[in-house]
A and B are shown apart, each in its own frame.
Chain A
Amino acid sequence: MEPGTTFTGVHNENTVEMARYVHPEVETLLDSEPRDERARLAVVPLDEGAETVRERINQLGANVERTLPSGVLLVEVSVSELRALLDVDGIASIAPDSQMEVLV
Chain B
Amino acid sequence: MSTESRLSLRIPRWKSLSDSERLPNWATDFGPLYEYVIEAHGRAANIPKAGEAGSSVHIGIIDSAAELPAHLTENLDVREGAEHSFIDSSKAETTYHCTPVFTLASRYCPGATFSLYQAVREDRKLPLAAFSDAITAAIDDGIDILNISAGEPWPDLVETNPAVLETKRAIEEDVIVVASAGNEDPEDDERLPVHCPAALQDVIAVGGFVSRCPARPGAEPATEPTGPYYVESDDIDDRARYGPFCGERGCIDGEACIPNKTERPWEHNVMPTGEKPDVLAPAVVPELDSDSGPYFNGGTSFAAPIVTGALGGILDELRSENRDLNPYQARRAVVNGSSPIDEGTIPKFDAMGTRRVLELG
Contact = CB atoms under 8 A, between A and B. Distances in A.
Interface residues of A, number: 23
Interface in A25-72: 42, 44, 66, 68-72
A103 B183 contact: yes
Given A19-B156, A103-B150, A103-B180, A98 B125 contact: yes
Given A19-B157, A68-B129, A97-B127, A104 B63 contact: no
Nearest to A24: B155
Q: Give the most central of B129, B195, B297, B298: most A CB within 10 Å.
A: B129
Contact of A74 (B128, B149, B182): B128
B125 A101 contact: yes
Contacts of B97: 102, 104
Contacts of B159: 92
Nearest to B132: A68
A94 B102 CA distance: 33
B124 interface: yes
B126 interface: yes
Q: Give the most central of B136, B160, B168: most A CB within 10 Å.
A: B160
B106 interface: no
A77 to B, nearest CB: 15
Interface of B: 63-64, 95, 97, 120-121, 124-129, 131-132, 136, 149-152, 155-157, 159-163, 165-166, 168-169, 180, 182-183, 195-196, 297-302
Given A100-B150, A102-B97, 12 more contacts: A44-B160, A44-B161, A68-B132, A69-B136, A70-B165, A72-B166, A99-B125, A100-B126, A101-B150, A103-B182, A103-B195, A104-B301
